[in-house]
Structure 1
Amino acid sequence: MVPAFVVPVDEIPLTGNGKLDRAALPPAETALPVSRRPENPEERLLCDLFAETLGLAEVGAEDNFFDLGGHSLLATRLINRLRAETGRELSIRTLFDAPVVADLARHVPQGAAVAPVRAAAAPRPERVPLSPAQRRLWFFDRFAGPNSVYNMSFAVRFTGPLRVEPLRAALGDLLDRHESLRTTVVEHHGEPYQRIRDAEGLPFRTVVTSEAALPQLLAAASAHVFDLETELPVRAVLHETAPEHHVLLLLLHHIAADGWSLGPLARDLSTAYRARAAGDAPQWTSTPVQYADYTLRLLDRDPDTGVDHWARILHGAPEVLQLPLDRPRPPVSAHRGETVPFTLDAALHARLNRLAATTRTSLFMVVHTAVAALLHRVTLGRYAADCVSVLGILGISAAAETLTELETTVREYANS
């Protein structure tokens, strides 16, 4: 990601614990002048939501969302915020077609706002089905056999006094607060369902080691193979490398969380640890929507899984793309990928941005299309000329979050 703003500072502000003091950082401000002030309620609302989403002090009615640093992920957040404020629906496509506040305001439905539907707790059936995202991961687990492909590991280094028992209790608080962290999968007549277990304690152990041995220990712990039927999809290991020097490894299976979950997970763990270290239980200021309730609402709203649509679109697509490889393709994937870094110069980056603007798409869409065209070219065009078959093998993940109140929930909402 290219940063939308670069703000020079004389020094990095730190808290008393030596951490980055985000509250003391100066606000990011665009060098672009603010255009005219809003003239009607729709423009005022959108100016406020643009500024909030983009982290700006002020946005004018003639300002362009993408010129101010917006991208597709922030576009999703903006649409969600508009829905939460008004109950009115706008599509992402509409924002791309009309990224200027005044233009977008003309697309906001008129009339009384509809109260947004909340994913509140409701009576649950005896068996809660898996969400589409959970079902994909469960299927892969059963199809591929025991594996650690969808493990998510995060290591955090602590310098200074750290009390183990309050940390252990705080991890238990996470289990109690987020049902997804204590959800396993059970089958009934061949169908998988969510089983929400009691918050009996997150698997947690401590290890005394050295800095030299730490990387190998972290790698070994991160390769743990979860049993989705019998094990909680989360565990933690605290490594002590020296007095008052610790590294906490938090390991989750993707079926319980996604990248968006890291924010609420870190905030809740910090809140709980501070409370437990003071001898208290955490006093939460809000109650997160539980993933089981979201699943039921999602399936009730849209029971169609899209299988028929994609079976029709991908009919005739090759199972394996015949690329001109320099070595034989292994019969079984080892799931060991590689990252190949490269740099696009500023001039090319600017041209890509202009292309995205003129085609009313995002930079990601332009680059995605370029990769598809490249694959079509290197396969000598032996597949469909319109690249549908090639596009079918380009897997991407996107956050499927649609409700603002889900932002505090640890969950798996990725749409692949």
Structure 2
Amino acid sequence: LPEYMLPGFMMQIDALPLTSNGKLDAKALPEPNALAGQEYMPPRTKTEKVITDIFEEILGISPVGIEDSFFELGGHSLKATAAINAIEKKTGIRLPVKDIFSSPTPVMLAKKIEAAGEGEYSPIPKAEQREAYPASSTQKRLFILDQMEGSSTAYNMASALEVTGNLDLEKIQQAIDRLIQRHESLRTSFVMTEGETFQVIADEVFYQVEYEETDSYSEADMESFVRPFDIGKAPLMRFKVAKERNRNNYILLFDVHHIISDHQTLNLLIEDFSRLYNGEELQPLELQYKDYSEWMRGRNLESQRNYWKEVFKEEAPVLDLVTDYPRPKIQSYKGAQVS
């Protein structure tokens, strides 16, 4: 078997739990303990202690020894990026993400950090207050695509959650109001002035949660919910509660434009919404997206620009697949899934 298919660890149990039909009851299996049977080796240096603390926080496992592998403990690429960011914040040394794949234990990473010498962590500063901020490169690209394609839903990011039990619609509206106030991106719209794309952040934006009662919710209902956004008007998000008649069952529908969000952001928004609905007080956000985009504008990216100019110095070949029909001048994004 290739390495990625080998179990990171194994555990022994006295007997397999069975259902009344004599089949394996997977839900009754004990939670695996990634640290079981491993010899714990405590950190010996300050750097090793910093890294083991970071691993414990990101992976939710304790204690982590200096010989324990980040990936065998449940880490993956997104968590690896979070670990590299945390290491830079604590040590001032920015390691390439590939280092955590080639050196996945605290003792190996500590050697790379110590070999790099001393570093100084410079946090992203808060941007000064303005009426509008130049859009980031990613936002500019999506703005141009929106202008070219008009009323398209190609960059809508929709998500649906099924909820069983009682829902308080007033609390849902309050949670959405607080979510919009918490995240500047949900109060951001986009304009073009003298050929330059700007992001405009409103002080306040109100959104009325949509509500519908239905016999049963179908894929067609979801398709009617996902509609084009006018990116010149905030919020570039919509939210709907659909209640199934005669059942204590709800479908919560989110739809966000990609110009203010990605899939990781969508997960954070849903998590924040859930906590706000449950009455939790969330810590204020230290930074917003405009702080990042302003910081990026001040960085010298000339070496990266030169790299890509070299990569694309010759014209890129056209992907010339055989098609049943002529290519349309404007993409329709119509397609199908076949299982």
Give the alignment's TM-score, normalised by structure 1: 0.67
Aligned twin of 1:330? 327
Partner of 1:148, secondary structure, is coil
Give the letter aligned to residue 143 of structure 2: W
Give matches, 1:62-211, under 5 Å. Answer: 62-109=67-114, 114=120, 116-211=121-216
Match of 1:274 in 2: 278
5 Å-filtered alignment, 1:11-410, equals 26=31, 28-30=33-35, 33-34=38-39, 36-109=41-114, 114=120, 116-211=121-216, 213-222=217-226, 224-242=227-245, 244-275=248-279, 283-302=281-300, 304=302, 306-323=304-321, 325=322, 327-328=324-325, 330-331=327-328, 332-336=330-334
Q: Which residue of 2 aligns with 1:380?
A: none
Relative to structure 1, the CA distance from residue 311 to residue 94 in structure 2 (aligned partners, 3 Å threshold; closer, same or farther) is: same
- Quote the Cα distance in structure 1 between the aligned partners of 2:79 and 2:273: 26
Counterpart of 2:47, as a letter, is E
Preserved contact between residue 34 and residue 73 of structure 2 (Cα < 8 Å): no
SS at match of 1:37: coil
- For 1:310, the aligned partner's letter is W
How many Å apart are 1:122 and its aligned residue?
Answer: 3.5
Same amino acid, percent of matched pairs: 30
Q: Secondary structure at the match of 1:122?
A: coil
User: Residues 312 and 62 from structure 1, CA distance in 2 versus in 1: closer, same or farther, beyond 3 angstroms?
Assistant: same
SS at match of 1:206: strand
Deviations 1:348-373 (A, max 9, x none): xxxxxxxxxxxxxxxxxxxxxxxxxx
Question: CA RMSD for the aligned pairs?
Answer: 3.2
Runs of 4+ in 1 over 6 A off after TM superposition: 1-11, 110-113
Measured at CA, do residues 118 and 194 of structure 1 come closer, stay the same or move farther in structure 2, by a change above 3 Å? same
Shift, 1:65, TM fit: 3.3
Which amino acid in 1 is paired with 2:188? T
- Count of residue pairs brought into register by the alignment: 318
Distance 1:305 1:232 in 2: 36
Which runs of 5 or more structure 1 residues have no equivalent in the other structure?
12-24, 276-281, 342-416
Q: Residues 112, 319 of structure 1: CA spacing in aligned structure 2 closer, same or farther, 3 A cutoff?
A: closer
Distance 2:290 2:17 in 1: 48
Kindly provide the CA deviation profile for residues 76-129 of structure 1, in whole angstroms up to 9, marking residues without a partner as x: 111011112223222223334433432221111476663x33334331344311
Per-residue deviation, 1:174: 0.8
Aligned partners of 1:272, 1:194: CA distance in 2, in Å? Answer: 26
Q: Name structure 2 gaps, 5 residues minimum.
A: 19-29
> Quick one: distance in 2 between partners of 1:308 and 1:60?
42
Mark the CA change 1:65 to 1:157 in structure 2 (over 3 Å): closer, same or farther.
closer
Aligned-partner Cα distance in 1 for 2:53–2:201: 40
**Residue identity matched to 2:249:** H
